[in-house]
Every structure is written in structure tokens, then in C-alpha cells.
Chains A and B, each alone.
Chain A
Amino acid sequence: MIKVDGLHKYFDDLHVLRGIDLEVQKGEVLSVIGASGSGKSTLLYCVNGIEQIQEGSVYVDDVDVHAKTTDLNKLRQRLGMVFQQWNSFPHLTAMENVALAPQIVRGLTKEEAKDVAIKQLEHVGLGDKFDVFPNALSGGQQQRLAIARALAMDPQYMLFDEATSALDPELVGEVLDTMRVLAEEGMTMICVTHEMGFARDVSDRVAYFHEGIVEEIGPPDQIFAEPESEHTKKFLAKVR
């Protein structure tokens, strides 16, 4: 379970997160929507421990992410993260991109890591690209590679930070399909997204962020069909 409690985050004077309370249960898919600058991505970075927080707490499976004693490298193995820029490692083949972290972080042998990589690359539909370097892959393929790379760490949770925002429109579908498969397999996911169709069809709950707070949260039917807050209504009217 991921539990966020009274979370405040500042970038210098900028108050980005202004008291976030959230719980994500095992097996749940939470989509986070909202205008750019509303703090959605920052929330993911705080969950992952990439960003420091100023107030409140984040617990992942009862581990306090921001406690001084927490081994973040260990914690991050449980939290797979996929970024807007896919960040493939350009000097490694697709296979090596996926196999590297299992080998040096999880401590698998070379063969075990390779097996894991093969399994995850096939999982995301890149079974024919093992020895290809990222610069020969399309954006959509690179993003699926990034998903496979995160999955190879055998994470309990997957965090998606606008995974399709930087893609050409015709490549968005293949990445969303991959995410959909993960959701159906029961992966616990937090997806910051601008894809309203995805949020509505795949999520168990949808959270609408407005200026650093959770303005409204609930099942997709409720948020999309009968939003209560004026801000939510306005936002949805604009993106439709």
C-alpha cells in the first residue's frame, strides 16, 4: 500500500504540493489528472524519493520514504518508474538496458538477468528487438523498453509520469495498450496522465489535482460523469 499523509512540497518559494492525502491499495490503478503545473508529477517524485519533502509523510508498504534511515536504492526496487522522456540508455542494447539493473542492483547472475530481460521484452512486445540499440527504436518502442526495464526489477508498484506525453500521436496507442495489459495483470499503478480515455477505462479511481491539492477523487464514472467540483468540471470541459 502507498500512503501519502499531509504532504507539502516547496521548490524554494513555490508551494507545489499543499497537503496531499492519498492511499493506493494493492492491485489498484489510480490515475492522476489535472492541468500542467498542478503538482501531479511532483507527487510521483516524492513517492519515489527523488524529491525531498518539507512536511507530511509518504509510506510505501509501511516504509517511511523520507526517513533518514531508509535505504532509497532498496526501496526504489519496489517502485518501478516510467518517465515522460523515455531515457533509454543509448550505449546499451535493448537487452542490456533491461538486464543491467537486475544484475547489478538485484544481484542476479548474468544468465538470470538475461532470462528476466527476455521475459519482460516479450511482455511489452519487443521480442524481436533484443540486440537493437535505442537509437534504432521508435519513441513508442523506447517507452515500452523503459516499461520493460522497470518491470525487470520485479516491482510491487509502477509509477507512470505522463508516459505518453512526449510521443507522436500514432505511437501513443501501443504504450497505452502495454499499460492496460499491466493493469489487467493486477499491477498496482499510479498513472499521471493526459489520456482521459485511458483514465476512464482502466483506472479503479481517478484523482483530479488542482493547484497542489487533491480537488476530487473517486471512481472514474463519478469523476467523468458527475464531477462535484467546479474546477473539475471546467478542466474536463476543456480537455474534451
Chain B
Amino acid sequence: MFEYNFHWRPVFKSLPDLLEAALTTLQVASLAMTAGILLGFILAVSRMRETGLIYWFATTWVELARNTPALFQLFFFGFGLGALGFHLSPYLIVLAGLTFNTAGYLAENFRGGFEAIPSTQLRAARSLGMNPWQAYTRILIPQVMRIVYYPMTNQFVWVVLMSSLGMLVGYRELTGETQFFASKTYRIFEYFAVTAVIYYVMVKVILVLSKFCASRFFRY
């Protein structure tokens, strides 16, 4: 039945390159995640008062990010902006696309986190004489972080997986690199199988690390 001859040698020979590309993947994903957290937080806060230009801008961002394919978003930052005369490098296309998408999803997570905390917590903090800044940074945000921690972990996994779209805009992260070697050697199955394993291991490591960090961060 198996008339196909597997050739693993070329894959193992380019394993160092693949692993380096895996680092590129982690790097662009981490950067997009960090930017996504900051922007997502700003978006969530911007949507708290449900009127005004800022609210509408933030809402449009969130809904577009959540209701269109990530691939479309990458294409927009690629072809779309290109048509307007802004030519981004493949790296920037991936970074911008992932950040745009992540910020939109995280904004909703953060909003849910704030809604899950009883309003009486804010009231109690203010009654102790804390100003709004103190009440948010010392009382509310630590509790929100706890609530959104696991959704955020999942989002990071999702960003790592999503960065594989880099292949389609010419960025050589792990999947792009794999595609490059695969098309050079025609060992498509072998290359992508090894890459699948690398992704699987990366995701597992992220989840284990995240659990470990949670046990250090959250004492209650």
C-alpha cells in the first residue's frame, strides 16, 4: 500500500533552519501579543463610555477584527495598504495583522473581565479614600488579570498558530520557511510533518509555562 518512499534526511538537514524559523515565529507572536494586550486594553477602556467618536472607532476595530478572517486582515495590510501607496514589508504585514486581530479579541476579554468584578469592589476601594487610579491599579486590574489570564494564554497560542499565515504574504516564519524548503525539495509531506511536530511542542511548552507562571502570580 505504501508505495511512497519517505525521505526524512533533507528535513533533518534543514532542521536548524526550521528551528530558527520557529524562534522567528515566537518572536513575531510575542511582539504582536504584547502590542495586542496594550491596544486591547485601550480599546476596552474606550468602549466603557458608550458614546462618542472614540467609542465608535474602538467598536469598529473590535467588530472588524472579530468578524473577518485573519487572512483577510493580513491581505488588507498587504495588498490593501499597498494599493494606497503604503508598502509594508512582509514582517510588518504579519505584525500589523496579528496585532490588529489580537487587540480586537483581547478587548472583548478585558471587557468581560471588568464586568465580572462586582461594582461594590470599586465602591469599597473609593470609600477607603483611594483615588480612581489607585482603585483601578491596586484593586480592579489585579482581579481582571486573574480572570483574563487563561483566555489570554489561549489567545497567545492562537497568535502563534495564526502567524503561519505569514507563508501567504511571503514572510519566512516557521510555516513560510517550511514552504520554502518543501518547494525546493518536493518533500512537502515530510517537511510539513516535522513542522507540525514543532508547532505542537511549542504550544505544549507555552501551556505548561503559562500554568507555571499562574501558580507564581496568583496566590489565591
Write the residues of chain A forming the contact surface with B, with a CB cutoff of 8 angstroms: 48, 50, 73-74, 76-77, 79, 81, 83, 85, 87, 89-91, 93, 100-101, 104-106, 133-135, 146, 149-150, 153
Pick the 9 closest A-B CB pairs, nearest first: A87-B124, A101-B128, A81-B127, A133-B220, A76-B129, A77-B129, A105-B129, A91-B142, A73-B129
- Contacting A at CB under 8 A, from B116-144, are 118, 120-121, 123-131, 134, 138-139, 142-143
Hey, which chain B residues are within 8 Å of A105, CB to CB?
128-130, 134
CB <8 Å contact, B131 and A73: yes
User: A150 vs B125: C-alpha distance in the bound complex, in angstroms?
Assistant: 10
A91 to chain B, nearest CB (A): 5
Q: Verify if B184 is at the interface (C-beta below 8 Å from A).
A: no
Hey, which chain A residues are within 8 Å of B219, CB to CB?
91, 93, 133
Identify A85's interface contact among B120, B130, B218, CB under 8 A: B120
Q: Verify if B204 is at the interface (C-beta below 8 Å from A).
A: no
CB <8 Å contact, B120 and A87: yes
A101 touching B129 in the complex, CB below 8 Å, given contacts A89-B139, A90-B220: yes
Hey, which chain A residues are within 8 Å of B139, CB to CB?
89
Hey, which chain B residues are within 8 Å of A106, CB to CB?
129
Identify A153's interface contact among B128, B134, B146, B220, CB under 8 A: B128
14 pairs, CB–CB < 8 Å, chain A vs chain B: A50-B127, A74-B129, A87-B120, A87-B124, A89-B121, A89-B143, A91-B146, A91-B220, A93-B219, A101-B128, A104-B138, A106-B129, A149-B128, A150-B127
B141 to chain A, nearest CB (A): 10
Residue of B nearest to A81 (CB): B127
Chain B, interface SS category: helix
Number of residue pairs A-B, CB distance < 8 angstroms: 65
CB <8 Å contact, A76 and B128: yes
B90 to chain A, nearest CB (A): 42
A73 touching B130 in the complex, CB below 8 Å, given contacts A87-B124, A91-B220, A135-B220: yes
Residue of B nearest to A75 (CB): B129
Size bracket of the B interface: 20 to 34
Hey, which chain B residues are within 8 Å of A150, CB to CB?
127-128
A130 to chain B, nearest CB (A): 14
Residue of B nearest to A136 (CB): B220
Hey, which chain B residues are within 8 Å of A85, CB to CB?
118, 120
Q: With a 10 A CB-CB cut-off, give which of B126, B127, B220 has the most chain A CB atoms.
A: B127
Hey, which chain B residues are within 8 Å of A48, CB to CB?
127
Residue of B nearest to A100 (CB): B138
User: A105 vs B123: C-alpha distance in the bound complex, in angstroms?
Assistant: 15
CB <8 Å contact, A50 and B126: yes
Hey, which chain A residues are within 8 Å of B124, CB to CB?
81, 83, 87, 89, 146
CB <8 Å contact, A90 and B134: no
18 further contact pairs, Cβ within 8 A, besides A87-B123, A133-B219: A73-B129, A73-B130, A73-B131, A74-B129, A76-B127, A77-B128, A79-B127, A81-B124, A83-B120, A83-B124, A85-B118, A87-B118, A89-B121, A91-B218, A93-B219, A101-B128, A104-B138, A150-B128
Hey, which chain B residues are within 8 Å of A50, CB to CB?
123, 126-127
User: A134 vs B127: C-alpha distance in the bound complex, in angstroms?
Assistant: 19
User: A77 vs B128: C-alpha distance in the bound complex, in angstroms?
Assistant: 6
Q: With a 10 A CB-CB cut-off, give which of A81, A87, A105, A106 has the most chain B CB atoms.
A: A87
User: A80 vs B146: C-alpha distance in the bound complex, in angstroms?
Assistant: 28
CB <8 Å contact, B121 and A104: no
Hey, which chain B residues are within 8 Å of A133, CB to CB?
219-220
Residue of B nearest to A93 (CB): B219
User: A221 vs B127: C-alpha distance in the bound complex, in angstroms?
Assistant: 33
User: A23 vs B10: C-alpha distance in the bound complex, in angstroms?
Assistant: 89
Hey, which chain B residues are within 8 Å of A101, CB to CB?
128-130
A59 to chain B, nearest CB (A): 18
Hey, which chain B residues are within 8 Å of A91, CB to CB?
142-143, 146, 218-220
Hey, which chain A residues are within 8 Å of B118, CB to CB?
85, 87
